[in-house]
């Protein structure tokens, strides 16, 4: 397998993983429709940075670390699950609160920064993502891969994740999705909260089972 084919296979698999529904997708969609396009794009960048961090960790052997120190993996999964449950509780609690939507140009850099940090934290809350990357690299990377591949993979993962979630942000921050959200905010927020909470509980339960 040539080096370019290796990169293409990695990026395609990463894209498939990003497209799969999960807490990252839920957060970007909700941020885009409930706040603004700028907030959604900031969240997309947060997802990209999280993917880059996890892919770098996977390249440096985080899979081996989790295998030999199983309690660390369980602790990280529990912490990530608790954070998702906390976000779910906040979504559920705020479902009845009215929402004033800013115009895209009116979103302050500070609040956009918070959207970025929230997205980054959600992306990093699931250590399974690091194992996902480690599995891809183990299966695809040759034993004697050239050094430039290890340098190229993390920024390319960032671009793949950011472009996908940026597309999601652009799609869901347009007029019709935002109008639909305002009409059904109570139930949309509670459904998003329930889904995110279920993912968090699943992480916590699986962490207990893996000890």
**pLDDT at residue 156, as a whole number:** 92
**pLDDT at residue 105, as a whole number:** 46
Mean pLDDT, the chain, whole residue set: 81
Q: Is the dihedral of CA 5, 9, 157, 29 positive or negative?
A: positive
For residues 2 and 106, give the distance between their C-alpha atoms in angstroms, rounded to a whole number. Answer: 48
Give the confidence band of 77 by pLDDT, cuts at 50, 70, 90. Answer: confident
* Number of Cβ within a 10 Å radius of residue 46: 28
Q: Residue 208: name the closest of 75, 87, 86, 82 by CA.
A: 75
* Number of Cβ within a 10 Å radius of residue 146: 11
Give the confidence band of 99 by pLDDT, cuts at 50, 70, 90. Answer: low
Q: What is the per-residue pLDDT across 189-206, written as a single tens digit (0 to 9) for each?
A: 788 788 878 878 887 887
**Contacts by 130-133, CB closer than 8 A, 24 or more apart:** 130/54, 130/57, 130/58, 130/62, 130/63, 130/66, 131/58, 131/62, 131/63, 131/66, 132/17, 133/14, 133/54, 133/55, 133/57, 133/58, 133/59, 133/157
Q: With a threshold of 0.85, does the pTM exceed it?
A: no
- 63-67, 81-85, 115-119: least confident range: 63-67
Which residue ranges make up each domain of the chain? 3-10+25-209
C-alpha angle with apex 204: 201 to 210, nearest 5 degrees? 140
For residues 179 and 101, give the distance between their C-alpha atoms in angstroms, rounded to a whole number. Answer: 11
For residues 125 and 83, give the distance between their C-alpha atoms in angstroms, rounded to a whole number. Answer: 7
**pLDDT at residue 119, as a whole number:** 92
**pLDDT at residue 104, as a whole number:** 46
For residues 85 and 125, give the distance between their C-alpha atoms in angstroms, rounded to a whole number. Answer: 11
């Amino acid at each position: 397998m040539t080096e370019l084919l290796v990169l293409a296979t990695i990026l395609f698999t990463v894209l498939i993983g990003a497209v799969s529904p999960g807490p990252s997708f839920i957060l970007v969609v909700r941020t885009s429709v409930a706040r603004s396009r700028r907030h959604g794009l900031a969240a997309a960048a947060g997802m990209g940075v999280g993917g880059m961090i996890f892919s770098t960790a996977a390249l440096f052997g985080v899979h081996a670390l989790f295998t030999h120190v199983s309690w660390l993996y369980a602790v990280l999964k529990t912490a990530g699950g608790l954070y998702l449950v906390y976000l779910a509780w906040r979504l559920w609690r705020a479902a009845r609160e009215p929402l004033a939507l800013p115009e895209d140009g009116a979103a302050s850099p500070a609040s956009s920064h918070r959207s970025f940090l929230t997205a980054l934290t959600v992306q990093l809350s699931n250590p399974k993502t690091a194992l996902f990357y480690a599995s891809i690299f183990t299966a695809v990377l040759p034993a004697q891969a050239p050094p430039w591949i290890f340098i190229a993979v993390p920024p390319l993962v960032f671009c793949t994740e950011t472009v996908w979630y940026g597309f999601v942000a652009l799609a869901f921050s347009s007029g019709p999705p935002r109008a639909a959200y305002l009409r059904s905010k109570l139930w949309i927020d509670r459904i998003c909260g329930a889904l995110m909470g279920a993912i968090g509980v699943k992480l916590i339960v699986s962490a207990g089972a893996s000890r």
